[in-house]
Amino acid sequence: MRHRIAEITNELIGDLKDEDDLVAALAYPLPVRVISEILGVPPLARERFGAWSQALARGLDAELTGSEQALAERDRAREAFRGYFTELLAERRERPAGDMLSTLVQLDELTTDELLTTSSDLLVAGHETTVSLIGNGVLALARAGQSGYLARHPERAPAVVEEILRYDPPIQLIPRVALEDVELHGQVLRAGEPVLALIGSANRDPEVFDDPDRLDLTREPGRHLSFGLGVHYCLGAPLARMEAAIALTTLSAAAPDLALADPVPPYRENLFLRGLASLPVRRHGRAA
């Protein structure tokens, strides 16, 4: 997919205005188009997914906050996804198109429910966090005055992506369940109890990372937890890393003096996910 991702990235950056919203212009459409092409989702259907995906993301928070409205919106979004994929998978069963959905629908091991859940989860997870990774990365580089860093050091792109993942991860916390009794700082976590692991905090552990609160583009990749760990390690980690590296390097070359048009851009209102609602930038000139 590397060549195709580069094609889409160049197309999007070529359309970038001198003053633009980097989230709407690049960070959002790039991963949406990539995962849609992998799965086999037609272009005309992609516009529907933004609102559905955001409703699912707010639904994660609602598990903690108890917001009945957010839970209801989450459930409606789930049904919308299931309805859409029911039709699309039936079409792929009749007319395979060489995409991932065409492959999945041929697997006898998957029940209809598993097939629908897997399809919608792949679509949402395949873009939701990568949008934030790219946006958070552009913001961090601009704030550090290093928008042109990867234009000068393109070979550092993989390491820079790892540092951004550590410094400002798209997922701030993850729910887990204790498998056995564990004592932690005088508190006992009982087997079966839910636990919220704070990834954002772990990634700035001073016992693991030197000067952890500083974005260090020369830092060698360490053991950050932004993709999880063990059997729950993110299935899409290689794709997310590739998309972010290509996007940030291409943008750095095209707009090495990219600056923030808004020094305090707005964030989406999420607890679990940390991502920008918009990122106003200027291709030329000083930051606001």
Give every CB contact of residue 223 below 8 A, 6+ residues apart in sequence: 208
Tell me which of 137 and 109 has the higher pLDDT.
137
Position 93 in a domain: yes
Q: Which domain holds residue 261?
A: 2-169+237-282
Position 288 in a domain: no
CATH number at residue 115: 1.10.630.10
Position 225 in a domain: no
How far is the C-alpha of 74 from the C-alpha of 221, rounded, in Å? 36
How far is the C-alpha of 104 from the C-alpha of 93, rounded, in Å? 9
Split into its structural domains, the chain has a count of 1
Position 272 in a domain: yes
Position 204 in a domain: no
Per DSSP bridges, beta strands 187-189 and 182-184 are antiparallel
Position 217 in a domain: no
Q: Are 199 and 171 in contact (CB under 8 A)?
A: yes
Tell me which of 59 and 26 has the higher pLDDT.
26
205 HSE (CA, 13 A, CB side): 10
Q: Are 173 and 198 in contact (CB under 8 A)?
A: yes
pLDDT at 229 over 80: yes
Sole residue written with tokens 């200027």: 282
Q: Are 193 and 175 in contact (CB under 8 A)?
A: no
Tell me which of 254 and 48 has the higher pLDDT.
254
Position 43 in a domain: yes
Mean pLDDT of the chain: 92
Position 192 in a domain: no
pLDDT at 78 over 60: yes
pLDDT band at 285 (very low <50, low <70, confident <90, very high): low
pLDDT band at 288 (very low <50, low <70, confident <90, very high): very low
Amino acid letter for position 19:
E
